[in-house]
Amino acid sequence: MAKGKKSVYFCQNCGHEESKWLGQCPACGEWNSFVEERIDSGITRGSTVSSRSVRESVREADVVPLNEVNADNDVRCCTGIGELDRVLGGGIVPGSLVLVGGDPGIGKSTLLLQVCREMSAQRKVLYISGEESRAQIRLRANRMGVFPSGLLLLCETNLEIIRGVIERQKPDLVIIDSIQTMYSEEVGSAPGSVSQVREATHLLMQLAKGLNISIFIVGHVTKEGTVAGPRVLEHMVDTVLYFEGDRHASYRILRAVKNRFGSTNEIGVFEMRREGLSEVKNPSEYMLSGRPEHASGSVVACSIEGTRPILIEIQALVCHSNFGMPRRTAAGTDYNRVNLLMAVLEKRLGMALASSDAYVNIAGGIRMNEPAIDLGIVMAIVSSFRNRPVDEKTIVFGEVGLSGEVRAVSMPEQRVAEAKKLGFETCILPEVSLKMVRGIKGIRLVGVKNIGDAVAGI
């Protein structure tokens, strides 16, 4: 058959293919997500696989019982950065493909260059850049400190050349910065298109699994915050990491949204400095720095991210509204959850909040949606409404139901132990959780059944 070019349309969200442009993707329901690409339409007859070769491949296929497969947890490689190892589940698994996404300037390249510095002392590391020149990378490396001689650098975007270099050098770790700049000459579309990103990821996945090489891929994000390109990109890789936080602020949060080798609940906290990203060993102390004294509407609550308890300051400002419809704002938590808790306060405690503006904020810019911070939001709103401060040495946690009851939350022992470690003297928690924390001494425990009991002292 003669080869030719034809236009096809790909959905940038899920990779669905259509022969004509559609306003809504029939596969994922996304609007205005189709882009046009030119591909080869011809298929040669010689390229078809014969049935004989298929039968030979089936006979050679290695089928083994699951119980006989050896899976050793000690094969992970430590990156030298504890917060990154925590998010990855204990370190890098050889042969894994990891995607790192985030806003421009958030610190993706900086973090991976620090990984190269830590690991190149013991292992062979190859850093492939398609966006920066050698001189630019060297200037950034000079700012971060001294680099061992084991780090190899390649500035290239051609996938065929990159594949040849990786097969020849056989490094232990490869960094691709970024996947949107890579292109294959066998694909006729431009770099960054759906076809090119899919082809590049497929080739890198074959190299990672075939040569047992760990590969990190940097991915650009769209204005919605998702990795640019087809959604199949996230399905093909083993781990997807996202950098969160304001690029103008000093903190950064690394969160795993997909991890085949560990939990997706763990987070890593970093602080951006001149010499690079610095680990925040105690996020609770970092989040509470600069907390005001004797201020109404300020309450410390405890949330759990994975296995790590994090103490956060919840701030609320409630004031009389000058308009017919009061304004409600929530930063760092769910807006609808704040409205629900205010309705519970108005119904169960008789507080006249319908004519008041309410602004709720989690200090530090971190975002928390765990139900355990419900009681903290409630107490912050009541404190601001009554203009009475909560004792600064008091910490609260608990889920609030629609009947005003305070329900139990998970891991209360870790929350109380973290509060005691940071010098808090009183802990208000659900009464049903008291029996689980009786063994912790040095902190006063106050169990409450409903929100009326919790706010009685305000």
Question: Which residues belong to the annotated binding site for ATP?
Answer: 102-109
Cα 255 to Cα 366: distance, rounded to the nearest angstrom: 12
Between CA 345 and CA 350 the distance in angstroms is: 7
Annotated binding residues, written as ranges, equal 102-109
CA dihedral 43, 47, 51, 53 (to 10 degrees): -160
Please tell me the distance from the alpha carbon of residue 157 to that of residue 129, in angstroms, as a whole number.
Answer: 8
Task: Decide if 449 contacts 456 (C-beta within 8 A).
Answer: no
284 exposure class (CB count in 10 Å sphere: 0-12, 13-18, 19+): buried
**b/e sequence 226-236, b meaning 16+ C-beta within 10 Å:** bbbbbbbbbee
| Distance in Å from the first CA to the final CA of the chain | 82
**Alpha carbons 304 and 287: distance in angstroms, whole number:** 14
Radius of gyration over every alpha carbon of the chain, rounded to an integer in angstroms: 27
- Under 8 Å between Cβ of 170 and 207: no
d(CA 220, CA 100): 9
The span from the CA of 12 to the CA of 156, in Å, is 25
Neighbours of 169 (CB within 10 A): 13
Residue 7: CB atoms within 10 Å: 12
Q: Name every residue whose Cβ is closer than 8 Å to that of residue 110 and which is 6 or more positions away in sequence.
A: 140, 144, 272, 276, 277
Would you say 141 and 113 are in contact if contact means Cβ atoms under 8 Å apart?
yes
